């Protein structure tokens, strides 16, 4: 069983602050995805990272895939209240089945 550990589980910050969320595993993944989930809704894909060391930017969000493809991070610059939500990382291993394994999530609250 491949496990993904996310940290921190909860994060409460002020508007304008920076933050980093981590997603770690002892397993290698073919790709890793970051989703955002609002209460009562399904996860919505933010980004997919595939290559070890890859960095992708989505406005104020920067996603990085570790060189060994076992870990990833999400950095948010100058957080805004609209960034509030549950951030989920999920790993896919094409050599070990067809399903996406989710981390436990990081619940972010950005206070104005």
Partner 1 sequence: EPEVTQTPSHQVTQMGQEVILRCVPISNHLYFYWYRQILGQKVEFLVSFYNNEISEKSEIFDDQFSVERPDGSNFTLKIRSTKLEDSAMYFCASRYDRAAGELFFGEGSRLTVL
Q: State which of residues 27, 50, 56, 62 lies at the interface with partner 1 (CB under 8 A).
A: 50
In the complex with partner 1, the residue whose CB is nearer, 79 or 101, is: 101
Which of these segments, 14-22, 60-68, 70-78, 94-102, binds partner 1 (CB under 8 A)?
A: 94-102
Characterize the bridge pairing of strands 71-76 and 61-65.
Answer: antiparallel
For residue 98, state whether it binds partner 1 (rule: CB under 8 A). yes
Which of these segments, 10-18, 56-64, 68-76, 85-93, binds partner 1 (CB under 8 A)?
A: 85-93
For residue 88, state whether it binds partner 1 (rule: CB under 8 A). yes
Q: How many helices (H) and strands (E) are present in the chain, helices listed first?
A: 0, 11
Encoding tokens for residue 83? Answer: 């960034």
Which of these segments, 12-20, 62-70, 76-84, 87-95, binds partner 1 (CB under 8 A)?
A: 87-95
Cα gap 51→40, rounded to integer Å: 32
Q: What is the DSSP string of 45-92?
A: EEEEE-STT-EEEETTEEEEE-TTSSEEEEEESS--GGG-EEEEEEEE
List interacting residues with partner 1 (CB under 8 A).
30-31, 33, 35, 40-45, 48, 50, 88, 90, 92, 94, 97-105
């Amino acid at each position: 069983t491949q496990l993904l550990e996310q940290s921190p589980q909860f994060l409460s910050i002020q508007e304008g602050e920076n933050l980093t969320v981590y997603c770690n595993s002892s397993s290698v993944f073919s790709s890793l995805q970051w989703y955002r989930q609002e209460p009562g809704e399904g996860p919505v894909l933010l980004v997919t990272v595939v290559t070890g060391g890859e960095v992708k930017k989505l406005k104020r969000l920067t996603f990085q895939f570790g060189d060994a493809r076992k870990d990833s991070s999400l950095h948010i610059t100058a957080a805004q209240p609209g960034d509030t939500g549950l951030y989920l990382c999920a790993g896919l291993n094409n050599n070990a089945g067809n399903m996406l394994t989710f981390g436990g999530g990081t619940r972010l609250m950005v206070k104005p």
